[in-house]
Amino acid sequence: MTLSLPIFLDNHSTTPVDPRVLEAMLPYFTERFGNAASRSHSFGWLAEKAVERGREQIAALIGADPREIVFTSGATESNNLAIKGVAWMHHPRGNHLITAATEHHAVLDPLKRLQRDRFEVTVLPVDRYGRVDPAGVQDAITDRTILISVMVANNEVGTLQPIARIAGLARERGILFHCDAAQAVGRIPVDVHGLGVDLASLSAHKLYGPKGVGALFVRRGQPLVRLAPLLDGGGHERGLRSGTLPVPLIVGFGEACRICMGEMPREAARIEALRERLREGLFSGLPEVTLNGHPTQRLPGNLNVSFAGVESDALVTRVGDVAVSSGSACTSASVEPSHVLRAMGVPEELAHASIRFGLGRFTTDEEIDHAVRTFVEQVTQLRRIRAAPDRTPSSARQVEAG
Ligand SMILES: *Cc1c(COP(=O)(O)O)cnc(C)c1O
């Protein structure tokens, strides 16, 4: 197979739409354009049928009942609906929420806003692999605790959390449990009822579906999960999320889930083998490379490593045709190391030297071999420049500073 550049190794940020997903969506932009809420004609009926089929496909992937799926615009909105929805509904009976330091900003930031509105938030520490200790959750619970939110799989280092144990603790104390499952669903088996979670956030564009659609799993049955909506309007989605449903996006989301369900076992094994090939190539080709995250309890497609002595921002610029993400997030004024690596106790130097590789359905052996060659070459060069700055051509210095 010939190699086509650039290579996409950033499948945690988003994934391409699978061609089969696009195919399924197309008719719903044109002849089947109806509003799923229109009850009086066949345009509406066709749209509603498509939405309900999508709902079934999504529910099936996570072992839920279709009536437990609420459509949203993505995992950001699902997280906001779960967290603020529980907080607003249960205040003032309780005002305490618990989360972990390595959560996505779409969990941490809604909690920060609640904190400004006089809610109390406990942010649990993690171990050096990024894992939450269930005993720490136990200790943090108070009589005022209304929600615990811990993600299934981390988006930077791929670490998997002991969800079933934490959810069990929450259930025993009558506290609702939410998980951000955006990185996990479609990549590893997630059975919401088996895990015992009350609320789970999903995103279509992390599993080869379209951007702009997601879902919140809301458990049915006793004890009741009660939520306040973020949006008021037409009362769609049983009043939890008003707004006309994006039928083509939902059809694509459903088809993407159907494909994941059929292909996950084989796909995960193939991707994990490629990830190991990448890891072995980098670790045998370069000295002073360290793994970030858990050695085994991690997503199959995730590799996060630090190349000591190298600024990851300079490195991502130099490897131009290999799209990866650096462990630093440029804010307006300064370069902040990732809050995830910081919480894991990764030294600042190594946090600034970290690269996240995200492998996916369309990653090939040739791409991995090319990525290994490119990174070995560029890391070696950057280290040489650093060791002998006086002999650096000015152009290379500029790149390193950029
Ligand atoms: C991508 C991602 C989100 C945000 O999802 P959107 O659908 O883009 O809003 C939230 N949480 C995690 C863990 C993610 O990886």
The whole model's pTM is what? 0.95
Together in a domain, 350 and 202: no
Ligand 1 contacts CB of residue 74 (under 6 A): yes
Between 91 and 220, the higher pLDDT residue: 220
Task: Note whether residue 232 is domain-resident.
Answer: yes
Please, are residues 131 and 159 in contact by the beta-carbon 8 Å criterion?
yes
221: CATH: 3.40.640.10
Q: How many domains does one find in the chain?
A: 2
Q: Over the stretch 130-181, which tens digit does the pLDDT of each residue have?
A: 999 999 999 999 999 999 999 999 999 999 999 999 999 999 999 999 999 9
Write the DSSP assignment of 269-292 as a string of letters.
HHHHHHHHHHHHHHHHHSSSEEE-
Together in a domain, 210 and 310: no
Question: What single-letter amino acid sits at 351?
Answer: A
Neighbour count for residue 199 (Cβ, 10 Å) = 28
Residues annotated as catalytic (active site), given as ranges: 330
Together in a domain, 226 and 354: no
Ligand 1 contacts CB of residue 76 (under 6 A): yes
3-class secondary-structure state, position 64: coil
Mutate to test the pocket of ligand 1, among 12, 73, 76, 156 (most ligand atoms within 8 A of CB): 76
Together in a domain, 210 and 281: no
Shortest-distance Cα residue to atom 5 of ligand 1: 75
Together in a domain, 89 and 170: yes
Query: Token pair of 57, please?
Result: 């496909």
Together in a domain, 253 and 362: no
d(CA 45, ligand 1 centre) in Å: 31
325: CATH: 3.90.1150.10
Mutate to test the pocket of ligand 1, among 80, 152, 156, 183 (most ligand atoms within 8 A of CB): 183
Q: Which of 215, 231, 259 is the last residue of a domain?
A: 259
Question: Cα separation of 135 and 117, whole Å?
Answer: 28
Shortest-distance Cα residue to atom 7 of ligand 1: 74
Q: b/e for 357-368, b at 16 or more Cβ within 10 A?
A: bbbbbebeeebb
Query: Token pair of 147, please?
Result: 């929600």
For residue 332, what pLDDT is reported? 52
Task: Note whether residue 398 is domain-resident.
Answer: no
Together in a domain, 253 and 118: yes
Question: Cα separation of 177 and 168, whole Å?
Answer: 9
Together in a domain, 268 and 255: no
For residue 353, what pLDDT is reported? 96
Upper half-sphere CA count for residue 157 (Cβ side, 13 Å): 33
Kindly report the backbone phi and psi dihedral angles of residue 12, in degrees, each rounded to the nearest multiple of 5, phi listed first: -85, -25
For residue 388, what pLDDT is reported? 84
The range of the structural domain enclosing residue 286 comes to: 7-13+264-387
pLDDT at 331 over 90: no
Write the DSSP assignment of 131-173 as a string of letters.
PPPHHHHHHH--TTEEEEE--SB-TTT-BBP-HHHHHHHHHHT
Query: Token pair of 292, please?
Result: 């970030």
Question: What single-letter amino acid sits at 393?
Answer: P
Ligand 1 contacts CB of residue 180 (under 6 A): yes
